[in-house]
Amino acid sequence: MEKKELLYEGKAKKVFTTDDPGLLIVSYKDDATAFDGMKKGTIVGKGAINNRMTNHIFKLLEEKGVPTHLVEELNDRETVVKKVQILPLEVIIRNYSAGSFAKKMGMDEGIKLSRPTLEFSYKNDDLHDPFINSYYALALNLATQEEIDTVTRYAFIVNDVMREYFSTLGIELIDFKIEFGRLGDGTVILADEVSPDTCRLWDKETHEKLDKDRFRRDLGNVEDAYNEVFRRLGIQ
């Protein structure tokens, strides 16, 4: 697999074309941003952890019937993935109150919800990824009804699988954000990443935050948290 030119550089990853038009190489960076890029920093070792963690979880999800863009891990930071057109929707599932939900609902963080919630935001940094519902998504042609139904179904499966898996690692899955893409034939598959950047992960016993909130909120020990999650995954 030959890496060709840089196709796109995002906040946390670079994407390269390859000699196969259907495949791309993603390269995970140690760069961290928050608040739509307003806050910038580095989390040493994050790129490798997020790459390897995403691939580990995506393999598990594939086994449970959720198709993903994963093709092959090349090295610590780089993975070959299927080329997709990313749906401009962030799909967020919450099991406990936290973050923007806790703020919006006037709740403390860490309160277990009676059932998991799902929300969409429109992936657009200039607009600060506004909260939208499926009617907005349809009205703005962000996705079709069939695609919305598919991502909704997959998102709850992802939640069930990850919740159970993290639980075995002594981690409570508070909430997470995932993204989906369309293959050339229109099939919708899970893309992007699943990592401490995109999930809230709390130690089950101590409720210590083991995710990017340590960076967002200047809580310290950011690298330690990423390393701890990676250690518990037992990937080697």
> Which CB atom, from 4 or from 207, has the smaller least distance to ligand TMP?
207
Distance CA 18, CA 20 (A): 5
Q: If we measure between CA atoms, which residue out of 220, 167, 175 comes closest to residue 194?
A: 175
> Which CB atom, from 18 or from 173, has the smaller least distance to ligand TMP?
173
Minimum distance, C-beta of residue 8 to ligand TMP, in the bound complex (Å): 17
Minimum distance, C-beta of residue 100 to ligand TMP, in the bound complex (Å): 3
> Which CB atom, from 23 or from 86, has the smaller least distance to ligand TMP?
86
Distance CA 33, CA 36 (A): 7
CB-facing half-sphere around the CA of 96: CA atoms within 13 A: 17
3-state DSSP call for residue 24? strand
Q: If we measure between CA atoms, which residue out of 50, 47, 20 comes closest to residue 31?
A: 47
Minimum distance, C-beta of residue 76 to ligand TMP, in the bound complex (Å): 22
> Which CB atom, from 78 or from 129, has the smaller least distance to ligand TMP?
129
> Which CB atom, from 46 or from 200, has the smaller least distance to ligand TMP?
200
Angle between helices 46-63 and 222-233 (to 10 degrees): 30
Kindly list the residues in this chain that would bind ligand TMP in the complex (CB under 6 A): 92, 98-101, 129, 175-177, 198-200
Q: Which amino acid, 47? A: G
The pair of structure tokens assigned to 183 is 């293959």
Minimum distance, C-beta of residue 177 to ligand TMP, in the bound complex (Å): 3
Which residue of the chain is nearest ligand TMP when measured via CB? 99
Minimum distance, C-beta of residue 222 to ligand TMP, in the bound complex (Å): 15
